[in-house]
Amino acid sequence: MDLGIKGKVALVTGGTRGLGRQCALSLAREGVDVAICARNTSDFLKIEDELKSFNVRVVTIKADIMSIDQVDNLFDYVVKQLGNIDILVNNVGGTVVRDDIEGTSLEDLKTTFQLNVFGAYQLMRRSIPVMKNSQWGRIVNIASIWGRESGGFIGYVSAKAALIAITKAAAISLAKSGVLVNSIAPGSIAHAGGGWERFQQENPSDIVKAFIDANLPMGKFGWPGPVADLVAFLSSEKAGMITGACIVVDGGQSKSII
């Protein structure tokens, strides 16, 4: 399917592995010029080669999304190298402290929000004026099913819930501008170097099976492809009436009916 976004410019944060890597590839497959950032540059050459195989322009930048100064420098560099950003995919996120409220300090909570919310918010703020001026833009924030319902640790679930709320509020205020803002809530997605891969490697097979049986109706962990292809669709002309949505991609894992 031709999604009608060939020649657009996208920025994908955390784009060297897992969901971010696959999002970048799905966009490049549609002819989108792609910039990716990551804290670890060791995989830059590999992902550059993969993306360039689609005959698109590619930029890789070392940046820590937890630093707002680095976020601003990242934004400016991408615009200088590729032009104005048409598609923003805020993928960076994760759990900082694996504990409940008694084991999660206020600083821990702030750090979790820095990782999952503040950098994404700043990139949205920097991107939106130009998108509005051109009357076209797409923002996709990668949240989690644990931002929609109870699950995970207190910092993570709170931060992802905030990201979903920011997405909704921004989408409503921008609805007439041509800028569409959506979020995606993945379930337990396994990928190379990710937490669910480590879980499977570090635990006996009976524990892994018990987790799958209790939590994953499809009988297996998710994989990045369906999430990434949805990102590409939401970034396209085909999704012209979808904004403010939080779309679940979890193989039936979550329990919420809304």
**Environment class of residue 64 by beta-carbon count within 10 Å: exposed (0-12), middle (13-18) or buried (19+)?**
middle
- Report the chain's terminal Cα–Cα distance, integer Å: 29
Residue 255 lies in a domain: no
pLDDT for 191 = 93
Q: Are residues 35 and 120 in the same domain?
A: yes
pLDDT of 21-37, one tens digit each?
A: 999 999 999 999 999 99
Tokens linked to 44: 């830059």
CA-based torsion, 229, 234, 239, 242: positive or negative: positive
Q: Are residues 168 and 91 in the same domain?
A: yes
Note whether residue 141 is domain-resident.
yes
pLDDT for residue 1 is more than 80: no
Q: Which residues are catalytic?
A: 156
CA atoms within 13 A on the CB side of 162: 19
pTM of the model: 0.97
Q: Look at the chain and report how many structural domains it folds into.
A: 2
Answer yes or no: do 55 and 166 share one domain: yes
pLDDT band at 170; cut points 50, 70, 90: very high
Same domain, 101 and 182: yes
Token representation of residue 46: 């590999």
Question: Domain limits at 203?
Answer: 189-221
Residue 164 belongs to a domain with what CATH number? 3.40.50.720
Residue 5 has pLDDT above 80, yes or no: yes
| Mean pLDDT calculated for residue range 157-166 | 98
* Residue 154 tokens, joined: 């207190």
Q: Considering the domain boundaries, does residue 135 fall inside one?
A: yes
Give me the DSSP letters along 79-105. Answer: HHHH-S-SEEEE-----S--S-GGG--
Same domain for 104 and 28: yes
Average pLDDT over residues 207-235: 97
Same-domain check for residues 91 and 175: yes
Do 160 and 200 fall within a single domain? no
**Residue 228 reports pLDDT greater than 90:** yes
- Asked if 120 and 14 sit in the same domain, the reply is yes
